[in-house]
Amino acid sequence: MQNLAQPSLSEGAAVGAALPESAQRVARLLAALGHDKPIVMLPSTGKTSAEAAAGLGCSVAEIAKSIVFRRLDDDAPVVVIASGSNRVDEAKVAARVGALGKADARFVREKTGYAIGGVCPIGHAVAPVMLLDRDLFRYGSLWAAAGHPHAVFNLTPQELQAITGAEVADVAQEGAA
């Protein structure tokens, strides 16, 4: 069932607050794509889906988290954008893109241009292989990282797919939600 209501912002989340440079870069990218919703600065970190959801007043499932892996055969970044309530099944992802390894903080920053906890679905330093969790399409509204652990932006699953070009796939561990 789709939730078409816009999540409400919890007290303290600031729309239009002074943005860190990485979030300003995302704001420029979004504006160039015609995305007209502002970046929101969370009062505390949004490094985890639960923290972001608490700051936004939405469900954890409505957080579009970016999980970065390293493809072993060519060292390519693999970005899986998953529902915040799902654990990513690495075997399902590997079956689609090839064997995976862990991505450490240095790899994530080097390949995406963002720090862990703020990896945005767009604007990566190196074009990643991308997969989009099909479960995100259960919701009418999502929140994704905007290049900084405190910065997020709102969009629909359809907009997320359009701006990323990501393949929609079953990436969730069974029974993990």
Task: Specify if 175 maps to a domain.
Answer: no
Which residue blocks in the chain are alpha helix, DSSP H?
21-32, 49-56, 90-97, 105-112, 157-164
- Owning domain of residue 124: 14-169
User: How many domains is the chain partitioned into structurally?
Assistant: 1
| pLDDT reported for residue 18 | 82
Give the number of other CB atoms < 10 A from CB of residue 86.
21
List CB contacts of 159: < 8 A, sequence separation 6 or more.
Answer: 35
Of 71, 163, 65, the closest CA to residue 114 belongs to 65
pTM of the model: 0.87
The owner of tokens 């079956």 is: 95
Decide if pLDDT at 10 tops 80. no
Task: Specify if 65 maps to a domain.
Answer: yes
CA distance 158 to 174: 24
Decide if pLDDT at 165 tops 50. yes
Cα dist from 104 to 6, 81, 109, whole Å: 34, 17, 9
Q: Would you state the structure tokens that stand for residue 169, as one six-digit string?
A: 């796939």
Task: Specify if 43 maps to a domain.
Answer: yes
Of 62, 76, 63, 97, the closest CA to residue 171 belongs to 97
pLDDT single digits (tens) 16-48:
458 999 999 999 999 999 999 999 999 877 778
| pLDDT reported for residue 176 | 54
Read off the CATH number of the domain in which 98 is found: 3.90.960.10
Query: Over pLDDT 90: what percentage of the chain?
Result: 79
Task: Specify if 97 maps to a domain.
Answer: yes
